[in-house]
Structures are given as structure tokens and as C-alpha cells.
Amino acid sequence: MYNELQINDPELYKAVHDEVLRQQHNLELIASENYTSKAVLEALGSVLTNKYAEGYPGKRYYGGCENVDVVENLAIERAKKLFGAEHANVQPHSGTTANISAYLSLIKPGDKVMGLNLDHGGHLSHGHPLNFSGKYFHIVHMNVNKDTELIDYDEMEKLIAKERPNLVMAGASNYSRQWDWARIKKICDVWKCFLITDIAHYAGLVAAGLYPSPVPYADIVTTTTHKTLRGPRGGLILSKACYKAAVNRTVFPGNQGGPLMHVIAAKAVCFREGLSDEFKTYQKQVLANARKLAAELQTLGYRIVSGGTDCHLMCVDLRAKNVTGKEAEVALDKAGITVNKNTIPYDPQKPMITSGIRIGTPAVTTRGFKEAEIVEVAGYIDEAIKHREDEVMLKSIKEKVAALCAKFPMYPGFEK
Ligand code: DSN
């Protein structure tokens, strides 16, 4: 598969090859990861990586941009169609850089921003003190309700009325329920603040019409393209037409230099795939698999934060099993199952230990798993956590996991 690398750089080749094998043989349950199509990989590996194209289609600072203009226009038009958006900027290198540009399109450093606390499912770029967002802006954090573990919109409005933020950042990286975007917009209108929604996690489900879309409500919507959306690693900004100039200026020259044209090409491929019927069928199965996994884990005695899921992910509270998120992550890794430790709301443990794990179904669904395989997956998770100190058992689970994965091959031939 990677002939030139294998011959010219065997040391690097070995790491890439080992990663191919890991992705083929392990159960990938990290909620923010997925397997792209070969077409996306081809675009990523194309000669477009060689081209500088600062600016936008038709208005570049370099010659020779006629082909990349076609590529970027395709990506923009497809993104707009996929999400029903008035404007799309496909240049952000990542979700976080999309968020930097989104904030600075609407507000200035020192202004007040309200976002969901990271420990309650938010994201670093929603105001964590160590992130640019927490350093540039005056942050007010909201938490989920302690009893329901849901966003409490009455509390949200009270906090907005008290703090009067200039902007609300709504969205999460670990919240399994639906956001009521229309309600948040109404609150923002009453208290005269901007609304950005970050749908990095939900984007694929939103595109398929299986999760509420914030596009009709938010001033700006940001997302990544590599999670449920199943495209290349990267960011995307959608906005109302009235913010087009501000968003474009803030992305370039505001926050970025040359766009990554090979990644933009891969985004265009992913948006086209997102418009297909096959993609809708896939997203339905992502959702069905997540619901099945949550129900199975509940049957096995695990508490799911907020009682279940309306999307591709769930947060599992491990306290009843007397195990921390860190211990579970390590044991599951040894059993060939990849998850990440995650804080649960009001977690008594530190962020590097945690009381929970976050699990998602996008990648295993791309593999072809349906509910029957998900029941097996839940069993292996439980077995690995129960036998976390038994290396022999963990090895035997790993073999069963590899056998299950072998029935649903990923990237056949890549290992050669
Ligand atoms: N790191 C991503 C996630 O895992 O959710 C968010 O950026």
C-alpha cells in the first residue's frame, strides 16, 4: 500500500503500518473518531497538498489556482446544500480554529462568553482557562442540572440575565441528549447576545436529519468534519449570509495563512457522501447502535449519564463498579477496545482519573456493526472491566474482539 514509504523511510512506515493493523483489529469506540472512505483518503493524499492558495476562489494571492478554485467552490456549495446554510467557509484547519474565527467574527477579546463547562460535557474551546477562549474572553460557565444531568434552560436564562454575556456558545463534546437550539436562540434574542453552536459531534446526524439542526437559529455554526460526518480531520464554519464577509476575513487573513487544499478536497468528497441515501442509512444505524449499547450496558448494571442517548455517544458512570475511568480505559485497551476516560457531571475524581468513560458508535457502525454485534461489544466491555487485573482474561477478550473485527474488515489490502 505505502510502497515509497516502505522503501525510503522504514522507521516511519512501521508506525503507519502498525496503525493500519490497530485500526483493522481493534474495536474503535472513541465517540469522535471514524473511518473515512478511500475516496477521502485519496483526496488527502493528492498533489493538492503542494498548492498555496491564500485567499478565496477567484481572489487569491497566488497564481495557478484555477484547479483549487474548482475544488474549494465544490466544497462550499456541497456544505451549504448538506446543512441548508447560507454561507460556508471550508478553510478552518480544525474545530478549535473554526471556533476562534467564529468568536472573533462576532465579538472582541475581553467580551463575555457563556459556554458549557468542560467537566459537564463542554469543550476546551468553549472557555477552558488554559485554552485561548478562556484567556481571550471573560468566561461564564453553565453546568447541567445535578439531578437530571440535562441542560436546564430556565437556569441558563437566569444565568444569561444575571451575567449578560455578549455571546453564547452552545454545543458539547460529551452531551448525549438533544439541544433545544430554538429555545436557546429565543433566550439569546431576549438578552441580546450572539449565538454560536458547535455541532462537531452531532454534524453527521444533523446532516442526515436525525438530530435537530441549529442552522436556522444560530448566527454561526461550527463543526469538525471527521467525527460523525466521516470526512477528513478539519473544521467548517456555516453562517447566515450577513456574516459571510466577517467570517471569511476572520479565517483568512485573520487566523490562518494558506488553506490546506488537499483537506478541502477531502471535505468536498465527504460532503458529497453526506448527501447520499447510504449516508442517511448509516446515520440511522449509528443512532440505533448507540441506543442498543446504552440499553445493554444498563442491563449489565452500568449507569448511563442522563439515562440514555439521543445521538452517537454516551457517558458511562463507572462508580457502581468500583472502577475509575482511567482504570477502565487501560483495561479496555488491553482487550483491544479503544475508549476514552471522561469526567461525568459533578465528578468527584480529577480529570486525569475520572469516574466515567465516553463511548461512541460512529466507527464500529462504519465497519458494518448492527445491533447483534453491539450486544457482543457490550459483553466484551463488561468482561474486560470485571477482569481488569487478569492479564490472561484480557488477552482472551482481545482475541475474541479481533475475531469479531475480522468479520467486518476495514481497509482490506492496506496491511500489505
Ligand atoms: N477531542 C474531541 C473529542 O474527542 O470530542 C473534541 O475536540
* Mean pLDDT of the 71-97 span: 98
| Ligand 1 atom, smallest distance to 174 CA | 5
Distance in Å, CA 24 to ligand 1 centroid: 22
Contact call for residues 27 and 364 (beta carbons, < 8 A) = yes
Given this model, what pLDDT does residue 3 score?
A: 87
Q: How far apart are CA 137 and CA 101, in angstroms?
A: 13
Task: Dig out the grid coordinates for 84 from the structure.
Answer: 441548508
Architecture of domain 41-274: 3-Layer(aba) Sandwich (3.40)
Pocket of ligand 1, candidates 30, 227, 312, 341: which has the most ligand atoms within 8 Å of its Cβ, to mutate? 227
Q: What value does the mean pLDDT take over residues 122-146?
A: 97
Residue tagged active-site, from 224, 324, 365, 366: 224
What pLDDT, in 10s, does the model give residues 136-188?
999 999 999 999 999 999 999 999 999 999 999 999 999 999 999 999 999 99
Spatial CB neighbours of 42, under 8 Å, sequence gap ≥ 6:
none
| 184-211 per-position pLDDT tens digit | 999 999 999 999 999 999 999 999 999 9
Residue 89 φ/ψ, nearest 5 degrees = -115, 120
**Superfamily (CATH H level) for 3-30+277-406:** Aspartate Aminotransferase, domain 1 (3.90.1150.10)
The pLDDT confidence band at residue 2, using thresholds 50, 70 and 90, is confident
CA 324 – CA 110 distance, rounded (Å): 38
C-alpha cell at 18: 502498525
Domains 3-30+277-406 and 41-274 share a fold: no
Task: Say whether 60 is catalytic.
Answer: no
For the chain, which residues make up each domain, given as ranges? 3-30+277-406, 41-274
Phi and psi at 233, nearest 5°, equal -65, 120
Mean of pLDDT values over 16-35: 97
100 vs 92: CA distance, rounded Å: 9
Give tens-digit pLDDT for 345-392: 999 999 999 999 999 999 999 999 999 999 999 999 999 999 999 999
From CA 400, how far away is CA 393, in angstroms rounded?
Answer: 11
354 is catalytic: no
Q: Provide the CB-side half-sphere exposure for 66 (13 A, CA).
A: 1
Helix (H, G, I), strand (E, B) or coil at 88: strand
Give the distance (Å) from ligand 1 centre to CA of residue 141.
Answer: 19
The size of the chain, in residues, is: 416
Helix (H, G, I), strand (E, B) or coil at 139: strand
pLDDT of residue 89: 99
Mean pLDDT, rounded, of the chain: 97
**The one catalytic residue among 227, 267, 292, 367:** 227
Confidence check: pLDDT of 343 > 80: yes
Looking at residue 149, what is its pLDDT? 98
Q: What is the mean pLDDT of residues 326-336?
A: 98
Q: Is 227 a catalytic residue?
A: yes
Per-residue pLDDT band at 416 (split at 50, 70, 90): confident
Ligand 1 is surrounded, with C-beta below 6 A, by: 32, 95, 123, 173
Catalytic residue list contains 52: yes
DSSP state of 242: G
236 C-alpha to ligand 1 centroid (Å): 15
Write down the pLDDT at residue 186.
98
Share of the chain above pLDDT 90, in %: 99
CA angle 35, 40, 46 (to 5 degrees): 135
- Is there a contact between 218 and 84 (Cβ–Cβ < 8 Å)? no
State residue 247's pLDDT score. Answer: 98
With 80 as the cut, is the pLDDT of residue 124 above it? yes
| Per-residue pLDDT, 415 | 86
C-alpha cell belonging to residue 330? 487501560
Burial class for 293, CB neighbours closer than 10 Å (0-12, 13-18, 19+): buried
Query: Phi and psi for 82 in degrees, rounded to 5?
Result: -60, -40
Rounded Cα distance, 273 and 283, in Å: 12
Tell me whether residue 54 is one of the annotated catalytic residues: yes
* CA-closest residue to ligand 1 atom 1: 32
- 243's CB contacts (< 8 A; 6+ apart) are 87, 105, 106, 219, 220
